[in-house]
Structure 1
Amino acid sequence: MEHSYYRDTRIEVDLDAIKHNITQFRQVLSTDTNILVAVKADAYGHGAVTVSQAALSAGATHLGVAFVDEGIQLREAQIGAPILVFGYVPPYAIEAALLADLTLTVYDLEHMKQIADVAEKIEKKAKIHLKVDTGMGRLGIPPKEVISFIHQIQKRESVELEGIYTHFATADDQHSDYFDLQLTQFEGILQQLKQLGIEIPLRHAANSSATLRLKQKCCNLVRIGISLYGFQDVSNPQVQLKRALSLKSSITQVKCLPGGSGVSYGKTYTTSHDEWIATIPIGYADGISRQLSNKGIALVNGTRVPVIGRVCMDQLMLRVNDAMPVSIGDEVVLIGKQENQEITADEIADQLDTIHYEVVTRLGSRIPRLYFEHGEQISTRNILHSHGKAER
């Protein structure tokens, strides 16, 4: 088999799962509700270009990114869907963003004027979404300033107010009064705009968790982020998601160390008796946290085996006594399923006292991404070799 990558560590992404997850949301949303999928941070480590293509083919209508560079990457891949930049766009990046037909978020009057000035200069109308801070305390204008801000936007012919949105701080807490308070504030703003005859085409507030709650009726666009990839922070019996990502490697050496042998830097692990030790080519430079030293888990031959010693930059060691016989080249699963066992990003997050978002987004770009449909590999992305098959 011809390879476009030259290491045994790889991320496998199931595009059927991506499409399934979009379909699950589509069947519970009204037909006039648009779906924006968040593909920032390289689609949460899954690969932005290929994931975007799969999601759009399954019924997503818009894409969301954090920065201009991420949006331009998608445009260079010939993706023509609307792309909203959630974050701040520096003045020097505005022209590039508008030329790439990116939709920009505004929440500061001077910044809006900068966008309008650039748009006027290049004779291109800028599409913008106004972000309202109803309680996240991050980007956004206070609710009391919305009307006056919109009046300022209306004075500029070079900008088009295409959308208005907010972001929930506690959407994954189904018993949060704060969520209801934010929602009530945003609904109040929309009602006020309606009374003033101000029509804004796109109105959105719901992230994955809020969409799963199906509690907001005021909007016509939802933002699906972590759930696109199969993570479900809020239970909803109508929506059954599938995990899209697996992280795999292979054994590069296996040997029996006698009792009293040290393993890895600092000798933080010492064998208590004859122990079979397997080395695999993945480490903290690939996003495997050094905090998993002496407490991480992997799957070998369908058996859960412990990470022993400190995780190195490019390698780590496993105690595989319970998985024997083990040979060089045997598959190791760090996230995903093997036989009847599974290790999830949630489990790893619990070990690290963090969230699954961080586990998958920290996976390094030097790990090749392999994409599958109907069980067959269809493409590979490997940034280290330009001659490799690119994302389709």
Structure 2
Amino acid sequence: ITSREDALLVSRVAQRLGKGAHCHLKVDSGMTRFGLTEEEVLSLVQARREVLSGVNLEGLYSHLACADEPDSPFNREQIQDFHRILDGVKALGWMPHLVHLLNSSGIFNFPQEQLDAVRPGIALYGAMDGGRETGPLRQVMRVVTKVRTIRCIPRGAFVGYGSTFRLERDSRLAVIPMGYDDGLMRSLSNRGSVLVRGRRVPIVGRISMRSTVIDVTECPGVDVGDEVVIIGTQGDESMSAVELAASAGTISYELLCLLGTRNPRIFIDAEVDEISP
């Protein structure tokens, strides 16, 4: 529940259905996105028996705005404000069963604030940006495609829309059937790289909607059908979502969210016997 209006609506629906609604109250401790102010929380909790019939308030939570910046003083301010509000609702006789504050970054950067529960998101994919040491987390996904065509292009030729890249040597270029419609961000044009045969090769020219050109001149033997790794490991080389996102000037969250529906997902049911730090 993020507002008094939400709380009253849930109460009316619960009464009409004759069922109890199990809810958590969201506190706005400084994110200024969703949530109740301190005054609204205390007012709602104090009047809960009169105005929230059918609502079982089970939890209290908030969200840190700078959890991935462990040295930001704003984290301490939010944590202090949240605990003050928690003390306030307890003084009113409400003891929430679940109190939670931390997202993925917060779990590692503020372990002392793990309280009753935590909310891992990006950590489940092992693709976290910044922050402190994240222990034994490993990236759990690979994004791969294949070489579609290969051409030998002479020195001086331009590549891609806008002719933004000019070859400084005779080059061997490969086209992969993946572009910004598939989540390979256009901002990686002339900046990003991918893995082919265990080597990093650069993206050249502007990324198109459903195709991208890569320079495989320094990667002998590449052929049509060869695997190209966008995110993941190939041989001794790795390309993490964090690194690729940094090349695009963004965060891994955005990069992973943009992976389009044209990309088939293959889920592998595998057990991990041992995880090395």
Do both share a fold (TM > 0.5)?
yes
Partner SS for 2:36: coil
Match in the other structure for 2:231: 335
Match in the other structure for 2:39: 144
| Residue 235 of structure 1, CA deviation | 2.4
What one-letter code is carried by the residue in structure 1 that aligns with 2:34?
A: L
Task: Work out the CA distance in 2 between the residues paired with 1:177 and 1:195.
Answer: 28
| Residue 320 of structure 1, CA deviation | 0.3
Partner SS for 1:347: helix
Give the structure, 1 or 2, with the largest relative contact order (CA under 8 Å, sep 6 or more).
1
What one-letter code is carried by the residue in structure 2 that aligns with 1:151?
A: Q
Match in the other structure for 1:263: 159
CA contact under 8 A between 2:21 and 2:54: conserved in structure 1? yes
What one-letter code is carried by the residue in structure 1 that aligns with 2:132?
A: S
Cα 1:120/1:153, change in 2 over 3 Å: same
Q: 1:214 aligns with which of 111, 114, 129?
A: 111
Partner SS for 2:242: helix
Task: Work out the CA distance in 2 between the residues paired with 1:177 and 1:162.
Answer: 30
Q: 1:279 aligns with which of 150, 175, 193?
A: 175
The alignment status of 1:133 with 2:133, answered yes or no, reads no
Task: Work out the CA distance in 1 between the residues paired with 2:227 and 2:176.
Answer: 10
Task: Work out the CA distance in 1 between the residues paired with 2:49 and 2:125.
Answer: 38
Partner SS for 1:254: strand
**Higher deviation after alignment, 324-333 or 168-177:** 168-177
The TM-score, its normalising length taken from structure 2, stands at: 0.91
The alignment status of 1:369 with 2:269, answered yes or no, reads no
Runs of 4+ residues over 6 Å off in structure 1: none
Partner SS for 1:323: coil
Task: Work out the CA distance in 1 between the residues paired with 2:187 and 2:68.
Answer: 26
Within 5 A, what are the aligned runs for 1:288-303? Answer: 288-303=184-199
Task: Work out the CA distance in 1 between the residues paired with 2:78 and 2:44.
Answer: 20
Higher-Rg member (1/2):
2
Q: 2:124 aligns with which of 209, 221, 228?
A: 228
Task: Work out the CA distance in 1 between the residues paired with 2:105 and 2:3.
Answer: 27
Task: Work out the CA distance in 2 between the residues paired with 1:263 and 1:177.
Answer: 47
Q: 1:202 aligns with which of 94, 98, 110?
A: 98
Instruction: Provide, for residues 166-189 of structure 1, a one-character-per-residue CA deviation record: whole Å limited to 9, x for no partner.
Output: 111112222222111111111122
| Residue 252 of structure 1, CA deviation | 0.8
Partner SS for 2:232: strand
Instruction: Provide, for residues 282-313 of structure 1, a one-character-per-residue CA deviation record: whole Å limited to 9, x for no partner.
Output: 00100111111111201111111111111111
CA contact under 8 A between 2:156 and 2:166: conserved in structure 1? yes
Within 5 A, what are the aligned runs for 1:12-161? Answer: 106-155=1-50, 156-161=52-57
What one-letter code is carried by the residue in structure 2 that aligns with 1:120?
A: Q
CA contact under 8 A between 2:198 and 2:234: conserved in structure 1? yes
Match in the other structure for 1:189: 85
CA contact under 8 A between 2:60 and 2:100: conserved in structure 1? yes
Cα 1:270/1:169, change in 2 over 3 Å: same
Percent identity, aligned pairs only, is: 36
CA contact under 8 A between 2:191 and 2:248: conserved in structure 1? no
Task: Work out the CA distance in 2 between the residues paired with 1:345 and 1:145.
Answer: 40
Which ranges in structure 2 are unaligned for 5 or more consecutive residues?
273-277
Match in the other structure for 2:275: none
Match in the other structure for 1:243: 139
Task: Work out the CA distance in 1 between the residues paired with 2:182 and 2:211.
Answer: 9
CA RMSD of aligned residues (A): 1.8
| Residue 375 of structure 1, CA deviation | 8.0
Task: Work out the CA distance in 2 between the residues paired with 1:174 and 1:110.
Answer: 34
Instruction: Provide, for residues 197-246 of structure 1, a one-character-per-residue CA deviation record: whole Å limited to 9, x for no partner.
Output: 212111111112222121216x3111111111113443247x31010111
Cα 1:206/1:294, change in 2 over 3 Å: same
Q: 1:310 aligns with which of 196, 201, 206?
A: 206
The TM-score, its normalising length taken from structure 1, stands at: 0.65
Number of residue equivalences: 269
Task: Work out the CA distance in 1 between the residues paired with 2:21 and 2:44.
Answer: 16
Q: 1:359 aligns with which of 255, 258, 277?
A: 255
Task: Work out the CA distance in 1 between the residues paired with 2:31 and 2:44.
Answer: 19
Partner SS for 2:58: strand
What one-letter code is carried by the residue in structure 2 that aligns with 1:138?
A: R
Instruction: Provide, for residues 328-382 of structure 1, a one-character-per-residue CA deviation record: whole Å limited to 9, x for no partner.
Output: 1001011111111111112122222211111111111220011123389xxxxxx
Task: Work out the CA distance in 2 between the residues paired with 1:231 and 1:289.
Answer: 17
